[in-house]
Amino acid sequence: MTAFAPLIDPFARPIQYLRVSVTDRCDFRCTYCMSEHMTFLPKKELLSLEELDRMCSAFIGLGVEKLRITGGEPLVRKGIMTFFEAMSRHLESGALRELTLTTNGSQLVKYSKDLATLGVKRINVSMDTLDEAKFAEITRWGRLPQVLRGIDAAKEAGLRVKINVVAIKGFNEDELFNIVDWCAREDHDLTFIEVMPMGEMGEETRLDQYWPLKDLRATLAERFTLTELAENTGGPARYVRLEESGQKIGFITPLTHNFCESCNRVRLTCTGELFMCLGQEDNADLRAPLRASESDDLLIAAIREAITHKPKGHDFDYSRQKVKGQMTRHMSHTGG
């Protein structure tokens, strides 16, 4: 039961999925996500963990059933386990169906057991290569062995791991089958993601990186029989099964296939901005109404007003050798 009438956008889509960035900071500097020398937000601009609790709880009261914690790297935020503990009460009440997170894996050795204890059942780990040198190159500050140890710790804690791989032309094309085979051996789910036009990068750079997933799928089909699956997890991925291995592979294709028609999610930044669409600049300030009153009435009204502006879809487009709909904000600002 929701505390209030559920959130429905102008296109009759119920809003049931909230992605929350709890920090813009990260211990990696992935080249497609942020610059190497980032200027991070002053701490006073960030929502406190208590404010994040209030914000998320308001959304849950309005019908949000799935909460994904993102960043930056969410697990580098000081005291973050107290926030997960606060959210776990909504799992126990049944109001929240799933609490999960996307991570770079660097802190999983430290936190996997706690996450599992607090009700997290599955996590996404962003990892674009199994080559140690290439991993250091693309993350700038990351080290592959640390991430692999973290993934092992997550498995030992009983967390289901999904590996997210950004498909990057000229970088991990030659690793496609290695990554697929490794995920099969380790029993990890796997999703490939097209490079999105976000952040302060020129059109030439983005186009040079762009590896359409239709081409990746065609390469997979040279070795595997791909069967389309009707499965919909509420996210943007479309799935196939590799018949020879039995693996389920996801594809997130914001550029070659617009997945907006079933979009049931919004994104909240660590400063309280609500982005109704990843690929649009329109946003609503929820921090001001949150801080204006100890009651949640103003906040709930602001959330409802924001949802009335959720667009039908984004404008990402790489056609005609031009990046259309490019977002100037870094992915770490909105949340992965």
| In the chain, where the domains are located | 17-334
Ligand-binding site membership of 13 (annotated): no
Q: Is 241 annotated as a binding residue?
A: no
Q: pLDDT value at position 116?
A: 98
**Mean pLDDT, the chain cut into blocks of 10 residues (336 residues total):** 75 94 86 72 90 98 97 95 98 98 97 98 97 92 94 98 95 96 97 72 58 94 95 76 96 67 87 84 92 97 95 55 46 53
The DSSP bridge pattern shows strands 66-70 and 98-103 to be parallel
Report how far residue 37's alpha carbon sits from residue 15's, in angstroms, rounded to the nearest whole number. Answer: 36
266 is in an annotated binding site: yes
Residue 263 is labelled as binding a ligand: yes
Please check if 165 is assigned to a binding site: no
Check the annotation: does 30 bind a ligand.
yes
Instruction: Provide CB contacts within 8 A for 250, sequence distance 6+.
Output: 162, 189, 190, 191, 192, 237, 238, 239
Q: Which fold has domain 17-334?
A: TIM Barrel (3.20.20)
Rounded CA-CA distance 151/165 in Å is 15
77 known ligand binder: no
Per the annotation, does 103 bind a ligand?
A: no
33 marked among binding-site residues = yes
Instruction: Check residue 311 and give its pLDDT.
Output: 80
Q: Residue 26, annotated ligand binder?
A: yes
Residue 32 annotated as lining a ligand binding site = yes
Ligand-binding site membership of 72 (annotated): yes
183 appears as a binding residue in the annotation: no
Buried b (16+ CB within 10 A) or exposed e, 211-240: bbbeebbeebeeebeeeeeeeeeebbbbbb
Residue 333: predicted pLDDT: 53
Give pairs for 42-50: CB < 8 Å, separation 24+. 45/271, 46/270, 46/271, 47/270, 47/271, 47/272, 47/287, 47/290, 49/22, 49/77, 49/79, 49/80, 49/82, 49/83, 49/86
269 is in an annotated binding site: no
- State the pLDDT at residue 251: 95
